[in-house]
Amino acid sequence: EAAEKGGFETFMLKEIHEQADAVAETIADRTVREDGVDLDEPGALDEELLKGVKRIVVVACGTSYHAGLIGRYTIEEWARVPVEVEVASEYRYRNPVLGQGDLVIGITQSGETADTLAAMRLARERGATVLAVTNVMGSQATRDADGVLFTRAGLEIGVAATKTFLCQVAVMYLLALRLAELQGTMDAPRRRELIADLKRIPHAIAELLEGEEERIQPVAERFGPSSFFLYIGRHIGLPVALEGALKLKEISYIATDAYAAGEMKHGPIALLDEATPVVAVATDSPVLDKVVSNMQEVRARGAHVIAVATEGNTEIGEHAEVVLRVPKLDWMLQPILAVIPLQLLAYAIARTRGLNVDQPRNLAKTVTVE
């Protein structure tokens, strides 16, 4: 087993370090063209369909649901197609309004999650077209779908998803760009810019990971004893907050809440006291000043802000006790980087508590029952 971990102390840490390669694999031959993404590969959906699609529904569970949320922001922003993102276990029992012309995307790393498969089947019965985004060839999801887009993360053993999540996000970016091109909602120069930035992601991940564990360890030691963490974010930073909070609760068993920062005053702010760490996703974006005012609200209650921010932003340091920096990319692409320090924070806290991060209690890698 030690050999399989390739020198890392756990599978999860190994898989976090495989993220640059995993994303590189996932985008490689799909971004050969400088001004557009190519997804017309074996098993993919008919592109005529993508060209005409008017409504998209994403169904998924757990971490895959968070990838779907990021997909919503990018598809709506770039391709101007409305997207709903639904927890599969809810959607399947909701008598959903679906029919011909709708595209349903099932995101499932394993391709075997019972609720996601059931939601995909229901969508098909109602006449929608179904696309599976999965990491496993030959999985049930590939058989239940009209088309498949594979993430190419390689085998993931750690129960808490890491590299498969980054690859799902990468696929959602690719799909959003392809849709934008087919639907004529984005001009070629903008597409060129975004594709150039997409190709920078693997290098940016590697750069970010360099020395990051050492930077995060003292943060984990300082805040690890806390019994509760709040995570906040806005817009595309919100799914990052949700995913960071999920990682921490999954592997460290610390209670977390993740909230749209603007909703904080409608509830979670009551939870804050001098002992509460608040993780704020504060990468550069058009809503950053709003996030900053939420950080100020947090500090006014005596709580502590741990911010994830874009390299080069000097202002954030004035509003946070700890700043975890990620390389600068187009603001819509920042989530794929911003989640990494939060994976490592959860990891370091869990390890400091002496826990088994690869196999957390009560959790399974694949949930094949309801």
Instruction: State the nearest-atom distance from the C-beta of 170 to ligand G6P, in Å.
Output: 15
Q: Which is nearer to ligand G6P, 192 or 249 (CB)?
A: 249
Does residue 199 carry a catalytic annotation?
no
Residue facing ligand G6P at closest CB distance:
62
Question: What is the contact mask toward ligand G6P in residues 257 to 296, using x (rule: CB under 6 A)?
Answer: ----------------------------------------
Q: Which is nearer to ligand G6P, 108 or 285 (CB)?
A: 108
As given in the structure block, the two tokens for residue 292 are 């900053």
The C-alpha atoms of residue 284 and residue 70 are separated, in whole angstroms, by 16
Instruction: State the nearest-atom distance from the C-beta of 250 to ligand G6P, in Å.
Output: 7
Question: What is the contact mask toward ligand G6P in residues 170 to 209, using x (rule: CB under 6 A)?
Answer: ----------------------------------------
Question: What is the contact mask toward ligand G6P in residues 136 to 175, using x (rule: CB under 6 A)?
Answer: -----------------------xxx--------------
Q: Counting contacts by CB under 6 A, is residue 334 touching ligand G6P?
A: no
Instruction: State the nearest-atom distance from the C-beta of 272 to ligand G6P, in Å.
Output: 29
Instruction: State the nearest-atom distance from the C-beta of 242 to ligand G6P, in Å.
Output: 12
Sequence-ordered list of residues with C-beta below 8 angstroms from that of 55, at least 6 positions apart, any chain: 81, 82, 83, 84, 101, 102, 103
Site for ligand G6P in 81-140 (CB under 6 A): 108-110, 113, 116
Q: Supply the residues annotated as catalytic.
A: 365
Residues at the site binding ligand G6P, with contacts judged by CB under 6 A: 61-64, 108-110, 113, 116, 159-161, 363, 365-367
